[in-house]
């Protein structure tokens, strides 16, 4: 389906592909990019001609507002190839709605839905060989918007650049994930931007996460900013806790991102008859459950991390290992969700999206 603006879509193909230069076995998350990228500027109150061009550096003025005030939002999405060579995406409608929600909160103009999907389909058709078959091979897609007005007055930018870049990846974490439960620093506050995928939300976590890393923990599980008594989300993922056979996760709020993988896990749990509670979770409850042996698992859920088991947590200077049972929810949800993503299982929810040149 074409819009007026998309009839002007410009596609400048790369003369040669870098595909054969890539060692796909040693990929570090997000360091290699495909042959093409998408770019669309917002000037004079309108999105301009959308362009796909070879992946390359962009030349910009040092005065761009994004550098000074961090007016920027992004999304994380993935494309998967099934055994027959068909490329799929997972619930891209959710990311489309969320990037515009994030944009609204950061006073960035919304990006047209038709153009978002046309850009994704065109890019994925063009760079189709970069989506590789086989479990664990996946193409991470990063749409983002930055404020490009070259002016340093602290006010909403009048110009923006919407881009999509794509990176072939394997797993996000290279080893075990151990977490620290936050007691001093906070990720988000009521009325703030915690529910938006704002670039600064991530920058603000780097320092406390580095402190955790120095102690041997890879991520921080954030707690509420007022009392630090309630568990919220982790750095790059929503957090799930299994106490006996019940799965528990915090409700989304001003401070917690409405994760696509998170809501998919909840829906799958309900379908599978696994008891799931979406409610506030006290740190004390998890500490107590760890002590009495009822804490069976903690896992993170997110587009980049998929479903990642947490091996231990630390709180108030005490280290709590997690002794997982033989059959974990972590492996069950990872299998159920990736089977849908790679088109290996019936898609009872209608979440798979078929990438095709017929979509533009």
Enumerate binding residues for ligand COI (CB under 6 A): 76, 202, 236, 302-304
* Least Å from the CB of residue 235 to ligand COI: 8
Task: Name the closest residue to ligand COI (Cβ).
Answer: 76
- DSSP, collapsed to helix, strand or coil, labels residue 87 as strand
Question: Which residues partner with 88 through β-bridges?
Answer: 80, 354
- Cα separations in angstroms, 63 against 66, 134, 151, 154: 8, 44, 5, 12
* Least Å from the CB of residue 302 to ligand COI: 4
* Least Å from the CB of residue 294 to ligand COI: 29
* Residues 6 or more apart whose Cβ sits within 8 Å of residue 308: 172, 173, 177, 237, 299, 300, 301, 330
> 149 vs 300, which CB is nearer to ligand COI?
300
Question: Which residues partner with 301 through β-bridges?
Answer: 238, 307
> 186 vs 236, which CB is nearer to ligand COI?
236
CA atoms within 13 A on the CB side of 338: 20
Task: Report the distance separating Cα 140 and Cα 142, nearest Å.
Answer: 7
Which of 121, 123, 116 shows the shortest CA–CA distance to 93?
A: 116
> 131 vs 304, which CB is nearer to ligand COI?
304
> 6 vs 249, which CB is nearer to ligand COI?
249
> 198 vs 355, which CB is nearer to ligand COI?
198
* Least Å from the CB of residue 172 to ligand COI: 7
> 154 vs 207, which CB is nearer to ligand COI?
207
* Least Å from the CB of residue 241 to ligand COI: 19
* Least Å from the CB of residue 77 to ligand COI: 7
Two tokens at 165?
């870049």
């Amino acid at each position: 389906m074409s819009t007026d603006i998309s009839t002007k879509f410009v596609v400048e193909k790369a003369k040669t592909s870098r595909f054969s230069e890539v060692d796909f076995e040693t990929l570090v998350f997000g360091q290699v990019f495909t042959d093409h990228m998408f770019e669309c500027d917002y000037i004079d109150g309108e999105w301009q001609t959308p362009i796909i061009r070879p992946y390359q550096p962009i030349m910009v003025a040092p005065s761009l507002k994004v550098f000074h005030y961090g007016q920027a939002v992004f999304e994380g999405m993935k494309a998967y190839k099934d055994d027959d060579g068909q490329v799929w995406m997972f619930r891209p409608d959710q990311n489309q709605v969320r990037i515009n929600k994030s944009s609204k909160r950061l006073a960035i103009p919304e990006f047209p839905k038709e153009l978002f999907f046309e850009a994704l389909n065109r890019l994925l058709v063009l760079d189709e060989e970069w989506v590789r078959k086989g479990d664990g091979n996946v193409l991470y897609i990063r749409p983002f918007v930055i404020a490009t007005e070259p002016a340093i007055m602290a006010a909403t930018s009048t110009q923006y650049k919407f881009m999509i870049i794509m990176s072939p990846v394997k797993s996000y974490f290279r080893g075990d994930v151990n977490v620290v439960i936050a007691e001093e620093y906070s990720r988000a506050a009521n009325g703030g931007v915690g529910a938006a995928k704002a670039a600064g939300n991530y920058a603000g976590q780097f320092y406390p996460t580095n402190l955790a890393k120095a102690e041997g923990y890879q991520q921080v599980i954030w707690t509420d900013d007022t009392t630090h008594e309630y568990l919220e989300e982790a750095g790059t993922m929503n957090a799930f806790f299994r106490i006996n056979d019940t799965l528990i996760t915090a409700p989304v709020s001003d401070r917690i991102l409405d994760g696509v993988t998170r809501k998919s896990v909840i829906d799958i749990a309900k379908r599978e008859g696994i008891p799931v509670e979406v409610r506030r979770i006290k740190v004390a409850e998890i500490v107590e459950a760890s002590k009495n042996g009822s804490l069976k698992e903690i896992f993170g859920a997110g587009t980049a991390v998929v479903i990642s088991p947490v091996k231990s947590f630390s709180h108030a200077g005490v280290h709590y290992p997690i002794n997982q049972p033989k059959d974990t929810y972590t492996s069950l949800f990872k299998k159920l969700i990736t089977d849908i993503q790679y088109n290996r299982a019936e898609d009872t929810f209608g979440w798979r999206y078929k990438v095709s040149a017929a979509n533009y």
